[in-house]
Amino acid sequence: MTHTKNSVTYSLGLLAGVTMAFSASAEELTIATVNNADMITMQELAPKWEEATGNTINWVVLEENVLRQRTTTDIATGGGSFDIMFIGAYETPIWGAKGWLTALDDFADDADYDFEDIFGLVRNGLSANGSVYAVPLYSETSFTYYRTDIFEKAGIEVPTEQITYEQFAEMAAAAHDPDNGIYGTCQRGKAGWGENMAFVGPLANAFGARWFDMDWNPQLDSEEWNAAVTYYVDLVNKYGPPGASANGHNENRALFKDGKCATWVDATSAAGDVRNPETSKVADVTDFFKAPKQVTDKGTGWFWSWALAIPASSKKTDVAKDFLKWATSKEYFEMVGETKGWVAVPSGTRQSVHEDPRYLEAAPFAETIKNAILSVDPSDPTLEPVPYTGVQFVAIEEFQGIGNYVGQQIAAALAGQATVEEALANSQRFAVREMTKAGYIK
């Protein structure tokens, strides 16, 4: 396949034979990205695009919380430090509506790119006011990873239906074997709205909690939040690894792949890495079931997309769009499959990937992931009615600051530096102040 963008013409050349036909006026793109497995793969494959186009990439690779801080500050101030940002389903609609991102509606006009192949839920989650502002590398919900060998040894029955968190705690207790280096469960403890709160938010939903009532009054000191966070602190302190308050997604993924965790509730997008024998010690003894519920099953699995977007401040929009088309195309996913193994192909984004026999053979969990993602309803995430959309986040600008603060308070409770009551009382005061300042409440 050959793409033409101004004077840049190239063949994607999946594995070899890249056509060298590019403009003498080459550009350098600066890309801010997270340090996860899928983006590391993209960095390894990007030289094919550089070779084909003559352009180069300056990668700025950051830990997730730092990435969010840097990109938020840069785009809000029009700093122009980045030509492409790796952002998600929270930031994209908010920043797009503010005019901070370049619309990508013209991608729909490119028949080769096949924009309609991207799941509709994902496209909608990266849109604002009828325009698309980012294109996804992968999308995810959450489900439960478990060790089949440990469950069998401990006599734990594998659930066929969605279990409660109470039942999940019983499983973690039965599987917990710290003397042999096996912890009953590994869950996110590192503070951050996209770290510990990505797990705690859906957990709170399961316990019937909500961030705000219909009048935007914060609800963080409610009985439901107290029950959820008390459960979380007890679960992780009893059956988790030492120092859990420092562990985020990447740390827990490493622990699970190294055989240290019997269970882990986290992103479906990690399944390919965990089930890849090249990268995981437990590839052959890992399986999955739904994230638990409690008093409700609403909002118990999150929805997220990691996607590539172009800040409106970039002066290299055409070249940046060219890279985005390459990096999220059908051909890119095939390149990953051919070079890294089909189990490593990013999931939850393109229908064609989830129908590809090569992917289905390598990733037997592919249908489970697709069904789990498409079952999420961000517009109806809680037991009681709410004025917001979003499962593990609230789709308002103020949530980033509130979510980070609450994450810090809950991390402190997990580490024994505060009681659950103190953490939630502090969180409530902070949220009331922020929502009053923003004009949501008086």
CATH of the domain at 330: 3.40.190.10
Judgement on whether residues 28 and 173 belong to the same structural domain of the protein? no
184, 120: one domain: no
Question: For residue 214, is it within any domain?
Answer: yes
The token pair at 348 is 């939850």
- pLDDT tens-digit readout, 386-411: 999 999 999 999 999 999 999 999 99
Asked if the model's pLDDT at residue 6 lies above 90, the reply is no
**Per-residue pLDDT for 20 more than 80?**
no
In the structure encoding, which two tokens stand for residue 363, read together? 């990733």
Strands, DSSP E only, in 131-251? 131-132, 135-140, 142-147
Residue 58: pLDDT over 60: yes
Q: What is the DSSP letter of 436?
A: H
In terms of domains, do 289 and 311 share one?
no
- Residue 364 maps to a domain: no
Does the pTM surpass 0.85? The reply is yes
Query: Are residues 91 and 63 located together in one domain of the fold?
Result: yes
Q: Which residues contact 134 (CB under 8 A, 6 or more apart)?
A: 87, 92, 96, 101, 104, 126, 305, 307, 308, 309
Instruction: Tell whether 13 and 107 lie within a shared domain.
Output: yes
238 & 336 share domain: no
**Does one domain contain both 57 and 108?**
yes
Domain that holds residue 168: 142-302+379-437
The 10 Å CB-count burial string (b at 16+, else e) for 349-374 is bbeebbebeebeebbebbebbbebbb
Residue 25: the pLDDT is 78
- The reply to whether 367 falls in a domain is no
**Do 182 and 286 fall into the same domain?**
yes
Q: How far apart are the first and last CA of the chain?
A: 58
Query: Is 284 part of any domain?
Result: yes
| Separation in Å, CA 195 to CA 68, 253, 413 | 11, 13, 15
**408 neighbors 399 (Cβ within 8 angstroms):** no
Q: How many Cβ atoms are within 10 Å of 405's Cβ, its own excluded?
A: 18
Residue 397 lies in a domain: yes
CA distance 385 to 375: 19
The Cα–Cα gap between 182 and 259 comes to 7
CB neighbourhood size of 22 (10 A): 17
Report the pLDDT value the prediction gives residue 36, as an integer from 0 to 100: 87
Q: What is the mean pLDDT of the chain?
A: 94
User: Looking at residues 126-155, what average pLDDT do you find?
Assistant: 97
